[in-house]
Chains A and B, each alone.
Chain A
Amino acid sequence: MEEIATNKNTGKPLETQEYFINMGPQHPSTHGVLRLLLTLEGEIIHNVEPHLGYIHRSIEKMCEKDSYTQIIHLTDRMDYLSSHMNNEAVSLAVEQGLEVEIPDRVKVIRTIISELTRLSSHQLWWGVFGMDLGAITSFLYGFRDREMIIDIFEETCGARLTMNYNVPGGLMFDIHPNFQKGTKAFVTHFKKKLPEYDQLLTENVIFELRTKGVGVLSKEDAISFGVTGPTGRASGFSNDIRKHNPYSAYTQVDFNEVLREEGDSYARYKVRIQEMWESMSIIEQLIDNIPEGDYKVKTKAVIKLPKGEYYQKVETARGEFGVYIISEGGKSPYRLKFRSPGFSNLSALNRMAKGAKIADLVVIMSTLDLVIPDIDR
C-alpha cells in the first residue's frame, strides 16, 4: 500500500511534478553531441526527446558539387566506425550506374575489410558499453584488440579510421604483402581474447541484472521504426543485407544471420558478440582464397553516371546503410541521399526507454550503438 504524503496545512496530498533534464550535448554517455531532453519523475523516465543537428555538416548537399570519386571520402566522416562499408556502398552504387564488371579480387578484399571494420566497430562498442556500465577496464581491453585491426588498415591503405580505400571500379591500391599474415594473426589472437570478453562482462551477474529485460523492443516496433542491424536482429527482425541482398563476395561465404527473440539490451549485446564470431569465420573462409587479378578496373578520369536513379544498400556495423543517387548525366549527382542506420535506430529510443530509469537509458543508448555524425550527417 502506498501512503500519500499530505500537506500539513491544507490536508491535500502533496503534488509531485515531472522535471526536465538536458542530457547532452556534452554528456559522457551520449557518445558525441546528441542532446536528449528527458522528462523524469524521480529517476523514472517518462519521455525522451532526441534533439539533433549539433554536428550537421550537410554532407548530402556537399555531395551535389563533388565528383563521384570525391564523394567517397565524405562518407568516411559519417559513420566513422564503419567507414569502409560506407565507401563500399557509394562505390557499388556508382559501379552499378557505370555497369562495369568488378574483378573477383576486389570483391573478396572488400568483403574481408568490411568484416574487419565490423569487428573493429563491435570491439569499440564492447569497450564503450562496459564503460557506460561503469566497468571502465573493458574499454582498454576492447581497444587493445581493435588496435590490431587498425594496424592492418594502416599498413594496407595508409589511414586508420577514415580509410577512403575504395574508388569507383575497385580499390585505391592493392593489398599490402603483409595483409594476409596480419589478418590471420589477428584472428588467432582474437579467438583467444573473445572468450575473455564473456568472462569479464557477459557472465557477470551485475551485468546480467543491468541488461536483461532492459529496453525491450518488440519485433513489430523494430519493423515499424525501421530499426536494422544488430539492434533489429535482437528483436527477431531478420534484416541482414548480406543475406537478403548479397553484394561483393557475400554470396561465396557461408555464415549465419544472428537472430534473437528477446529484444532487450542483453539480446542486442549477445547478437553483437555472436556477430564477431561470424565475422571471424567469414574472414577465415576468404583470407586464403583471395583470387589473383586486378585491384581496379579502368574507369574514365571523370566519371559521369548515365541519367537515372541508383540505390545500393550495404550492411554496416550498425545496420542498413543506403545510398540513393539521382543522376542527370553530369559528373556529380543531381541529388544524393544517405539512409543511415543510426537515425532510424535512434527513433526507437523513446519507445524503449519509457518507464526505465536513468541508468537504463544509458544502457539502452549504448546498445543502440549510436554514432552521432552518422545520425546528423
Chain B
Amino acid sequence: MKAIVKYIISIISALRTLIKGMAITGHYISHPKEIITQQYPENRETLKMFDMFRGEVVLTHNEDNEHMCTGCSACEVVCPNGTIEIISKRIEMPDGKKKKVIDKFVYHLSMCTFCNLCILSCPTDAIKMSQDFEHAVFDRSQLTKVLNKPGSKLMEGVR
C-alpha cells in the first residue's frame, strides 16, 4: 500500500515540475513585449552602435581634405597581422626641403582582427575605429582599402 502511495505521489510531483516549466514558457508567449529579436535591415535608421565599437579602421579627414598621418608606420609595426601597409613618398617642400609623406595608407580589412593596437600606437591620433559594421562585399579585392582620400594632404602643424 505504501508503495502505491509513493508511486502516485511521485507521479503527481513529476507532473507539477512539468507544469512549472510550462508556466515559464506560457508566461513568455502571453507577453509579446518581452520579444528580444530585432528586424535588422529594417531598423537601420534607429540602430546605433556604441561609440567604442570597433567597426573598421578609418583615417580621419577634416573638411579641407587634410589628415593627420605623418607616415611614421608605428601602426604598421604594431599590427599583428600585417593589416596595415603604409606606402610613403618623398615630396619637395616649397622651401626646397624634401619631406616624407604617405602616398597610400593601405588597409586590408580581410586580415584585420580589430585588436585596436594600431589606434593606441598612433602618435598623432590620425586613425580611429569607425562604427560601421556592414562590411559584406561581393569581391574580396574590395576589402583592401586605401584610407587616405585622393588629393588629401597632411594637416598643417602635425609632425
Interface residues of A (CB under 8 A from B): 66-67, 69-70, 73-74, 76-77, 137, 140, 144, 147, 151, 154-159, 162, 164, 167, 172-173, 176, 196, 199-201, 203-206
Contacts and interface: CB of A to CB of B under 8 A. Distances in A.
Mostly, the A contact residues are helix
B78 interface: yes
A199 B80 contact: no
Contact of B20 (A155, A172, A173, A203): A203
A74 B36 CA distance: 32
B104 interface: no
Given A158-B52, A162-B113, A162-B114, A70 B80 contact: yes
Interface residues of B, number: 24
Given A66-B80, A200-B24, A205 B53 contact: no
Nearest to B79: A70
Contacts of A137: 25
Given A70-B78, A172-B120, A159 B21 contact: no
B117 A199 contact: no
A204 B17 contact: yes
A155 B52 CA distance: 6
Given A172-B120, A204-B17, A205-B14, A73 B52 contact: no
A73 to B, nearest CB: 4
B88 interface: no
Contact of B21 (A154, A164, A176, A200): A200
A218 B84 CA distance: 52
Sorted from nearest, which 6 A-B pairs have the closest CB atoms?
A73-B115, A158-B52, A70-B80, A205-B14, A158-B54, A155-B50
Contacts of A172: 116, 120
Contacts of A176: 52
Given A70-B80, A154-B53, A205-B14, A199 B21 contact: yes
B114 to A, nearest CB: 6
Contacts of A158: 50, 52-54, 114, 116, 129
A116 to B, nearest CB: 16
